[in-house]
Structure 1
Amino acid sequence: MHREHADPRALRRSGMDASTPLQSDLATSPFRVDRDRVASSPFFARLGGVTQVVSSTGSGLLVHNRLTHSLKVAQAARAIAERLGARPELVGVLDKLGGCDPDVVEAAALAHDLGHPPFGHLGEQVLDRLARHRFGLSDGFEGNAQSFRIVTTTDVRGPAAVGLDLTVAVRAAMLKYPWTRLSYPKPHPKDLRVPPRGAAEPPDAPGTGAAKFSAYVTELDDLTQARAFYAGRVEPWQQTVEASVMDTADDIAYAIHDLEDFYRVGVLQHATVSTELNTWLDHAVDLAGISAADLAAQERQPGRSLEALRRRLHLKDSWAVDDDAFAQAVAMVRTELVGGLLAVPFDGSVEAEQAVAAFSARWTRRLVDAVGVLDEPSTRSGHVVLAVQQWHEVQVLKFVHRRFVLLRPDLALHQRGQARLLTALVEALEQWATDRHEADRLPRRLHDLIELATSEYTALARTDPSSLVGATGDTPSGPDAVRALARGRAVVDFVASLTDNQAAALLDALSGRTGQLWTDAFVL
Structure 2
Amino acid sequence: MDLGGEEPPGEGGVARGGVCGVGTGADRAGTTVGGVTSHSEVRAVRRGGHATRGAAELASSPFRVDRDRVASSPSFARLGAVTQVVSSTGSGLLVHNRLTHSLKVAQVARGIAERIHADARQHAAVDRLGGLDLDVVEAASLAHDLGHPPFGHLGEQVLDRLARHRFGLPDGFEGNAQTFRIVTTTDAGGLLTPGLDLTAAVRAALLKYPWTRLSSPRPHPRTMRVPPRGAAEPPDAPGTGSAKFCVYVSELDDLLQARAPFLGRIDDWQQTVEASVMDTADDIAYAIHDLDDFYRLGVLQHATVAAELGGWLASATELAGLSEADLGGHSRQPGRSVEELRRRLHAKDSWVVDDEAFAMAVSRVRKEVVDGLLAAPYDGSVESEQAVAAFSSRWSSRLVDGVRVVEEPAVRRGHVTLAAEQWHEVQVLKFVHRRFVLLRPDLAMHQRGQARLLTRLVEALDQWLSDRLEADRLPRRLHDLVELATVEYEDLGRTSPEVLVGATGDEPRGPDAVRGLARGRAVVDFVAALGDGQVPALMDALSGRSSRLWTETFVL
Indicate whether 1:71 and 2:103 are aligned. yes
Superposed, 1:503-514 pairs within 5 Å as 503-514=535-546
Residue 468 of structure 2 aligns to a residue in which SS? coil
The aligned counterpart of 1:125 is: 157
Superposed, 1:340-351 pairs within 5 Å as 340-351=372-383
The aligned counterpart of 2:251 is: 219
Per-residue displacement from partner, 1:216-259 (whole Å, max 9, x unpaired)?
00000000110111111111110000000000000000000111
TM-score of the superposed pair, with normalisation by structure 1: 0.98
The aligned counterpart of 1:11 is: 45
The aligned counterpart of 1:231 is: 263
Within 2, Cα distance between the matches of 1:50 and 1:158?
23
The aligned counterpart of 1:26 is: 58
Indicate whether 1:462 and 2:462 are aligned. no
Within 1, Cα distance between the matches of 2:385 and 2:135?
31
How far 1:521 sits from its partner (Å)? 1.5
Pair 1:4–1:94, CA change in 2 (3 A): closer
Within 1, Cα distance between the matches of 2:281 and 2:295?
22
Per-residue displacement from partner, 1:468-505 (whole Å, max 9, x unpaired)?
11354311111111111000000000000000000110
How far 1:161 sits from its partner (Å)? 5.2
The aligned counterpart of 2:286 is: 254
Runs of 4+ in 1 over 6 A off after TM superposition: none
Which fold has the larger relative contact order, with Cα–Cα distance below 8 Å and residues 6 or more apart in sequence?
A: 2
Total equivalences in the alignment:
522
Amino acid at match of 1:109: S
Do the aligned residues in 2 keep the contact of 1:10 with 1:169 (CA within 8 Å)?
yes
Within 2, Cα distance between the matches of 1:11 and 1:28?
14
Amino acid at match of 1:16: H
Do the aligned residues in 1 keep the contact of 2:181 with 2:247 (CA within 8 Å)?
yes
Amino acid at match of 2:491: A
Within 2, Cα distance between the matches of 1:2 and 1:114?
32
How far 1:339 sits from its partner (Å)? 0.3
Within 1, Cα distance between the matches of 2:205 and 2:323?
42
Within 1, Cα distance between the matches of 2:56 and 2:117?
30
The aligned counterpart of 2:215 is: 183
Within 2, Cα distance between the matches of 1:35 and 1:385?
24
The aligned counterpart of 1:303 is: 335
The aligned counterpart of 1:498 is: 530
The aligned counterpart of 1:386 is: 418
Residue 533 of structure 2 aligns to a residue in which SS? helix
Within 2, Cα distance between the matches of 1:265 and 1:192?
43
Within 2, Cα distance between the matches of 1:136 and 1:239?
29
Superposed, 1:36-55 pairs within 5 Å as 36-55=68-87
Provide structure 1 residue ranges, at least 5 long, that are not aligned to the other structure.
none
Within 1, Cα distance between the matches of 2:551 and 2:137?
37
Superposed, 1:95-244 pairs within 5 Å as 95-160=127-192, 162-244=194-276
Per-residue displacement from partner, 1:267-304 (whole Å, max 9, x unpaired)?
01000000000010011000000001111111111100
Do the aligned residues in 1 keep the contact of 2:239 with 2:503 (CA within 8 Å)?
no
CA RMSD of aligned residues (A): 1.2
Do the aligned residues in 1 keep the contact of 2:490 with 2:514 (CA within 8 Å)?
yes
How far 1:91 sits from its partner (Å)? 2.1
Pair 1:441–1:161, CA change in 2 (3 A): farther
Identity of aligned residues (%): 74
The aligned counterpart of 2:385 is: 353
Do the aligned residues in 2 keep the contact of 1:62 with 1:265 (CA within 8 Å)?
no
Amino acid at match of 2:513: A
Per-residue displacement from partner, 1:27-86 (whole Å, max 9, x unpaired)?
110000000000000000000000000111121342100000000000000110111011
Residue 469 of structure 2 aligns to a residue in which SS? coil
Amino acid at match of 2:42: P
Do the aligned residues in 2 keep the contact of 1:115 with 1:145 (CA within 8 Å)?
yes
Within 2, Cα distance between the matches of 1:497 and 1:227?
26
Provide structure 2 residue ranges, at least 5 long, that are not aligned to the other structure.
1-33
Per-residue displacement from partner, 1:103-160 (whole Å, max 9, x unpaired)?
0010000000000000000000000000000000000000000000000000012103
Do the aligned residues in 2 keep the contact of 1:114 with 1:150 (CA within 8 Å)?
yes
Residue 243 of structure 2 aligns to a residue in which SS? coil
Residue 450 of structure 1 aligns to a residue in which SS? helix
Residue 417 of structure 2 aligns to a residue in which SS? strand
Within 1, Cα distance between the matches of 2:63 and 2:164?
36
Amino acid at match of 2:216: Y
The aligned counterpart of 2:441 is: 409
Indicate whether 1:519 and 2:551 are aligned. yes
Residue 184 of structure 2 aligns to a residue in which SS? helix
Do the aligned residues in 1 keep the contact of 2:47 with 2:193 (CA within 8 Å)?
no
Amino acid at match of 1:407: L
Within 2, Cα distance between the matches of 1:54 and 1:517?
30
Do the aligned residues in 2 keep the contact of 1:173 with 1:243 (CA within 8 Å)?
yes
Tell me whether 283-292 or 474-483 shows the greater mean CA deviation. 474-483
Amino acid at match of 2:242: A
Within 2, Cα distance between the matches of 1:50 and 1:40?
17
Tell me whether 397-406 or 159-168 shows the greater mean CA deviation. 159-168
Do the aligned residues in 2 keep the contact of 1:321 with 1:392 (CA within 8 Å)?
yes
Amino acid at match of 1:222: D
Do the aligned residues in 1 keep the contact of 2:208 with 2:279 (CA within 8 Å)?
yes
The aligned counterpart of 2:11 is: none
Within 2, Cα distance between the matches of 1:183 and 1:472?
13
Amino acid at match of 1:281: L
Amino acid at match of 2:292: E
How far 1:265 sits from its partner (Å)? 0.4
Amino acid at match of 1:28: S
Per-residue displacement from partner, 1:447-471 (whole Å, max 9, x unpaired)?
0000000000000000110111135
How far 1:176 sits from its partner (Å)? 0.4
Within 1, Cα distance between the matches of 2:507 and 2:151?
32
Residue 65 of structure 2 aligns to a residue in which SS? helix
Within 2, Cα distance between the matches of 1:523 and 1:43?
14
How far 1:25 sits from its partner (Å)? 1.0
How far 1:342 sits from its partner (Å)? 0.2
Amino acid at match of 2:511: P
